[in-house]
Amino acid sequence: MISWPDIDCILLDMDGTLLDKHFDDYFWEELVPQKFAAKNDLPMDEAKKRLFAAYKAQERTLNWTDVDYWSGQLNLDIVAMKEEICDLVKVSPGAECFLQFLQRQGKTIVLVTNAHPKTMQIKLRRTPLIPYFTAMISSSEIGAPKEAIEFWREAEQRLKFDKGRTLFIDDNEAVLYTADRFGIKLLFHKNGDGGCKSHAGQKRFPSFSDFNDLYP
């Protein structure tokens, strides 16, 4: 259980946390390969092989979520393609009720995401979540991904949060490890299947799949 009187600020990831991952999984694993294969006259399996290698090479960098970078690299209009399937954007079950609880408690609620601002705009306008946030920060705005300690140093400067009275929730363990090294006191892993992998010598974070488990 979380001792809510001891928490002032809640930092929340977007994709895979407040929003489910179906949109992104379908977009990058199916739609982009389809368009890339058609444009380059490739079999689907070859298109996926090339694309997944390109994705892997940009993990944990700003390029990973930079729609302008991928538009240039793939010669595809990534923003327009995301707009085409924006109806697939869905809020994770229980997420809005959790935000309502935090708001009633008078907490500072901040969206911290690696998503590109253009992607944020497409997704958030399809949800009722924007009014709950005190602030929203993207890694593109800061100039470093959440996997880098520099992101957290700059976020702390901008938001003026107390690391000892802050809760951060993310579905990406690499991000949680960095936030842990930075010194954020309370860290939770959002996992669709309710589990959390632990790696040798690394911390295992409390994991949940339903936001209703986090508050009374």
> Residue 172, by phi and psi: left (phi above 0), alpha (psi -120 to 50) or beta?
beta
Distance CA 112, CA 83 (A): 22
Distance CA 148, CA 164 (A): 20
| Active site (catalytic) residues | 6
